Amino acid sequence: MEQKAEMTEQIVKKEIAFEEVQSFTEIKASKSQMTMSQGQTVTLRANIPEASDVKWILNGAQLSNSENYRYGVSGNDHTLTIKSISHHDQGILTCEAKTEHGVVKCQFDMTVSAMRSNAPSFLVQPHSKNVNEGQNVTFTCEITGEPSPEIEWLKDNSVISITSNMKLSRSKNVYTLEIHNATIEDSGKYTVKAKNKFGQCSATASLNVLTLVEEPAKMIIVEKASDATSMQGSYSAKHAVSKMQETSFSSSSMAEVKFESMSASSMTSMTSERMIAMSSSSMMALSSHSHVEGSSIKAISHGIPPKIEAAPQDISIESGKVLTVACAFIGDPTPCIEWSHSGKTLSSKEQESGRLQIETSQDVTTLVISGVKETDAGAYTLKLFNEFGFDTTTVNVRIRWM
């Protein structure tokens, strides 16, 4: 009887065990291969409807919900966020949960690679713009770098204060500054800086907001002729012998201006006569009535000496990377550009090698050196000059070795 009772008890236990196994059949819902870089923040997502008792298991050991391993749920999606992934997280990471159909497992085959170390560099730089007042403006640039660089926008070398008409945005590696209904006050130099622990880069573009106005006034100076004879000879006989008839002209932006009749002799005693014309059409009409050949007629010309408005601070960059040094400037006429390294002018021969490039637009000059090496370290000086003056700036570059 005792033997019979023991056998019955064993059969019952087996049946119970069998029922437990059957009620929680293991279901592998998915398996994914993943490769990540050391130091990245990673979020894993497992879609398990009506799940309970959710666990995340790494190489057979359950992970606790903590600051480094944060559990989450959104609808049917169960997530695990790893704050800073390391080589300890390599292997099979499983999300395990119970459902009415059985135990569901979603597996992630994790491979962790060494941390990538890239200093920031521009794939696309922002471009200078001229717009009318009230138009919208967009500056866009694309920047690479690992880890992802910190981005800062500046206007005239001061960090931008975001106003109601300004917006900053990012989409992956593309960074955008938008200005709505631009005003004259928005004109200036806009610089974007990117920085991570391996280096930094910057680029500058100018914005010129224009007000729609009448054509500006032009001033002409008529200098004194050498003597009465030359002055009389410069006019037609009809106007030189008799009095110069009253000549009038007008424009949309000034009242009628009249030149009073005067004799040829009175004109010879003048040191100079100033005439103001408000448009090219008025100038042509004036010229046809009183054409002066013997006198010297010339427009007053004004120039702007070169000025460097934005330049990077000293740069530290890893060996083998691409060095970019961009400087914004003004000057009229457009100044001549000269880059030098440790006192030696960078020649066109060095540019022909392909490793060094100097790119200059209307108001920005950029020095680019590919695959920097130890000999590229030192002081880089930019000199600008035109007939009205010159300006210089120096950027010190330090090369780091890994």
What letters, b where the CB count within 10 A reaches 16 and e where it falls short, cover 109-130? ebebeeeebbbbbbeebbebbe
Structure confidence at residue 1 (pLDDT)? 54
Domain boundaries, given as residue ranges, for the chain = 2-113, 116-213, 225-294, 302-402
- Kindly tell me the burial class for residue 56, based on how many C-beta atoms sit within 10 Å of its own C-beta (0-12, 13-18, 19 or more): buried
Q: What is the DSSP letter of 63?
A: P
**Token reading at 269:** 């005693």
- Average pLDDT rounded to a whole number, residues 84-108: 89
Rounded to whole angstroms, what are the CA distances from 75 to 78, 106, 317? Answer: 8, 16, 46
Q: In the predicted model, what is the mean pLDDT of the chain? A: 75
| Segment (H or E) for 110 | strand 102-113
Put simply, whether the predicted model's pTM sits higher than 0.85 gets the answer no
pLDDT classification of 2: cutoffs 50, 70, 90: low
- Give which of 124, 114, 125, 117 is closest to 149, Cα–Cα: 117
Closest CA to 120 of 65, 180, 201, 52: 201
Residue 309, both tokens: 């408005």
Superfamily covering domain 2-113:
Immunoglobulins (2.60.40.10)
CA distance linking residue 185 with residue 355, whole number of Å: 40
Ranges 63-72, 176-185, 250-259, 323-332: which has the least confidence: 250-259
Mean pLDDT confidence for 348-363:
78
- Among 144-158, 293-307, 333-347, the minimum mean pLDDT is found in 293-307
pLDDT in tens, 183-225: 999 999 999 999 998 889 999 999 998 886 555 544 444 444 3
Q: Which CATH number is associated with domain 302-402?
A: 2.60.40.10
H-helix or E-strand spanning residue 2: helix 2-23
Task: Please tell me the predicted confidence (pLDDT) of residue 197.
Answer: 86
Q: How far apart are CA 190 and CA 205, in angstroms?
A: 5
Extract the tokens encoding 40.
Answer: 């990245």
The answer to whether domain 2-113 and domain 116-213 are alike in fold is yes
pLDDT at 56: 93
Q: Is the pLDDT of residue 257 over 90?
A: no
pLDDT of residue 3: 55
Q: Summarize the confidence of residues 239-252 as an average pLDDT.
A: 37
pLDDT tens digit sequence for 35-75:
888 888 899 998 888 888 899 999 999 999 998 999 998 88
**178: confidence class by pLDDT, cuts 50, 70, 90:** very high
CATH (residue range 116-213): 2.60.40.10
- In angstroms, the CA 327 to CA 306 distance is 12
Q: Give yes or no for a contact between 215 and 279, defined as CB atoms under 8 angstroms apart.
A: yes
Task: Identify the band that residue 324 occupies on the pLDDT scale cut at 50, 70 and 90.
Answer: confident
